[in-house]
Structure 1
Amino acid sequence: MSIEIKAPQFPESVPDGTIATWHKKAGEAVSRDELIVDIETDKVVLEVVAPADGVLAEILKDEGDTILSNEVIARLEEGAAPAASAPKQEATAPAAAAPQASDEKLVNPSARKMASENNVNVGAVEGSGKGGRVTKGDVIDHLKGGAASPASAPAPAAVASQSPAAMPAGDRTEKRVPMSRMRARIAERLLEASQSTAMLTTFNEVDMGPVMELRKKYKDQFEKSHNGTRLGFMGFFVKAAAEALRRFPAVNASIDGNDVVYHGYQDIGVAVSTEKGLVVPVLRNTEHMGLADVENTIRDFGLRARDGKLGMDDMMGGTFTITNGGVFGSLMSTPILNPPQTAILGMHKIQERPMAVNGKVEIRPMMYLALSYDHRLIDGKDAVQFLVAIKDMIEDPARILLEI
């Protein structure tokens, strides 16, 4: 029985997707729930698995093709065995198989099509994909590299003979690859934020000593009491931000046309860096979460982001964002808004600096904080007071518990 393999249902905010990688070729056997293809969207990479045991009979969409929600991308023959006629055809027609002998390496369908159109033997193309797979970009690079005619090859030698003292140039290779959908969407949103908002940034600094001492004192007991959940710094900032957002509703609001939407909840996104780009999973209703809930959820987000397992629902919405460039060593930066949100908090590296404390100079672990905000909605006074509220709660963590 033939089964249609369809793309997943995309959310309304995701109009389409792109076929990223086929893990199976037409004619290959597949097992139920085995990964067949990766589909890249603006936000995440979705995995499509086989609905049953059988053979992947036909691939309808090549890598790089744009697809819509629930669009048929392949067909599977349930319970069928892999076709065994191909080797017999090669044996009976060795002359026809000879040009394809070097084509036994892994080749993407789009790369094979381009190679055929340009009379390129894919066996001579160096593959840069997973397991040496030849991609469309590899064929393009091969075509560019072979553009020079053999007659032009001696030219460098002629130049060298005219200037014997010249040293041979080092490798000056270039590689052109298409921008991923996720990276393109990130670029689009950042450009949109800079062009469509009146973004301004205010800075402050916070003494991390009290939180560090509290963490040092209770981290072992905290981990034991909460089933292995570790006590980090992000939990304190999320809880401090949730309380500050409650006090300053404009910072938790968003602009929709000529309307201002005030949210009666604090859904805080936490920026997570992955190999494919920055993603912002959202902690829902942080005002009702404890420190252990926050830390455990953030850890789960980090692990799933690393493995590419974050779903679209994890990153939808959000009323405020926190990003931590300090984990990479950033001392100070200006975070860019995540529309339609109107503010974003930037954390940075903890660094010991001499500070005046009660008239004396002390070495304290300090962190710069940055709050970027949309001046169309948030006045400078509210932005500064919001950041000061976070600073006060971090420097005196009891305020978080007492909500003062």
Structure 2
Amino acid sequence: MIPYGRQSLDQADIDAVVAVLQSDWLTQGPTIERFEQAMAARCQADFAVAVCNATAALHIACLAAGLGPGDRLWTTPNTFLASANCGRYCGAEVDFVDIDPLTWNLDAVVLAAKLEQAERDGTLPKVLVAVAFSGQSCDMRRIAELAERYNFTVIEDASHAVGASYAGRPVGCGEFAAMTVFSFHPVKIITSAEGGMVLTNRPHLAERLQRLRSHGMTRDAQQMTEPSHGPWYYQQIELGFNYRITDLQAALGLSQLDKLDEFIARRRELAARYDRLLAYLPVTLPSPQHEAESAWHLYVIRLQTERISLSHRQVFEGLRAAGIGVNLHYIPVHLQPYYRDLGFAEGDFPEAERYYAQAISLPLYPLLSDEQQDHVVEQLRRLTEE
């Protein structure tokens, strides 16, 4: 089976993890800080806070932004559950903004109209989670302008977009978002086995993120409510979580970061090759977002179902039967039972629903060979021409 995505590990990655295993630190040691500093430098950000996974990163980013009961978080319906669930973890209401029919990202035009109505209704969001779907940023320049006008905090969920760029700068630089979240899950661009990170340029956010990931406690005397009792002393300032990453994971992530340019180059090569090979099939190919250079975590096509005799499901299952582990990113979040129970229904976000009825994620990862890619294309051709 050719999977839709997988990690790319080499001996250097193994050696990096073994070195930590042989050191004095397995959990909260110096490798975490080195990983954070390296990622911040790569993204031209001032601060980076590593955590156990990207869902935890989104959660504490929302808390750092002050999201709580009575507030609202907006995001796209075309994303993984965590982009919305992070708002619910904070006790906030969640709503969605439909997707652009070309880029399949949150539509900034629809967002502007929804914000205008929300201002009249007194229902403006406190946080917008802008998802860089498939590795490509949204129209972040326009979103940042809207955030300034309507006074909400932008968190870019760039779980797919490590190594991507927008407006000529690395995603994560902080120019268009208060905080940026990365994921290091094995199928993402680089991996730490599990892991996530929040990047920001704002010292007060970084300080709170660091505290929230570790039980809400501090050893910094300046944050304490009374003088220290001694070198052992710490205080819990607020309710936090055990969202810490380990030195073992950070060592793997740091080693993987050395290969990021190589990984991105191969992903872009494969994406361009798909563009050429699929150009004459009855499918809609990914479209570039203005100013965005994708990291190509996913290569998603949409079946032109009106030109194909087989159904969406039949093509999907036919590819699986041919040994191709295609996937579908994503089921619109508002159609999940949990969100239906909150009042959402079919027809609420029609563009995301049309997308879901046609989308298929094809295999894309650095170790995918040209021969394997040719097999994917040939099987897709066969199924769409039946």
TM-score by length of 1: 0.21
TM-score by length of 2: 0.22
Q: Which has the larger radius of gyration?
A: 1
